[in-house]
Amino acid sequence: MVIPTWNEERLLPDLLRRVRASPHVGQVIVADACSDDTTVQIAEAAAALVVAGGRPAVGRNVGSRSGSSEYLLFLDADVQVDTEIIAQVAAVLSDSTVSAVHPRLVPLTAKRFVRLCYHVLDRYAQFCSWIHRPQGIGALIAVRRSAFEAVGGFDESVQAGEDSHFFGQLGRRVGGVVYCRDIELPVSARRFELESPLWFAAKNLLWAPLRLAGLRVSVIPYTWRRYP
């Protein structure tokens, strides 16, 4: 399992506690992007392997090379995964025809606009699955190592939506990407809180068709900022 981090001391302890409770999780790898808080110390205290990361694509790729398991589970630090969710994902991935799994994301907020955006994302991911052009968000991605390596991992040149680009490459070159709407994964809405929700949503509406078309260009790059 690989968790890319950058100053995640507030969320990482709970996430590590949750994943350690699952019998399906073996080695835990934290790919850290030079955090200046206690993220690294927290990871090491939880017996996680800490490696040098970077942006999410870099961290996931580095983390994948630091382990040898047949299956790779990528998690963002702000998800509230539990043993049941991991077991459900593992059950879907046990089908030999499945190369990757990603769940439905449920935002941890009462704000109607943000919830609407995630509803649209759900329908969009479902539609892309129907037309066999998978798209999605990388809050949780479970993938066979063979499929991951077949597409060369995450494209580190993609500045925004590298996870959607990854799903697209899997769909085109490997197949077997499953979007599980029945598996609901709680996730924070902190990206909407970091900047104007309308502006963030508008940028995603721009990036989505670019990734669906298999393009790497972002037009408006995503600027990574420290979360409060």
- In this prediction, residues 23-48 reach a mean pLDDT of 96
Return the half-sphere exposure (C-beta side, CA atoms, 13 A cut-off) of residue 141.
33
pLDDT attached to residue 227: 78
Rounded to an integer, the average pLDDT of 173-196 is 95
pLDDT of residue 149: 97
pLDDT in tens, 107-141: 999 999 999 999 999 999 999 999 999 999 999 99
Q: Could you tell me what percent of the chain has a pLDDT over 70?
A: 100
Cβ–Cβ contacts within 10 Å for residue 86, how many? Answer: 23
pLDDT at 154 over 90: yes
CA 189 to chain centre: 14
Q: How far apart are CA 228 and CA 226, in angstroms?
A: 6
The candidate with the shortest Cα–Cα distance to 201, out of 120, 134, 142, 82, is 120
Query: How high is the pLDDT of residue 195?
Result: 86
Q: How far apart are CA 204 and CA 192, in angstroms?
A: 11
Across 188-198, average pLDDT: 91
pLDDT of residue 67: 86
Q: 158 near 218, Cβ under 8 Å? A: yes
What gap in Å lies between CA 202 and CA 220, rounded to an integer?
11
Q: Between residues 67 and 61, which one has the greater pLDDT?
A: 61
Percent pLDDT > 90 in the chain is: 92
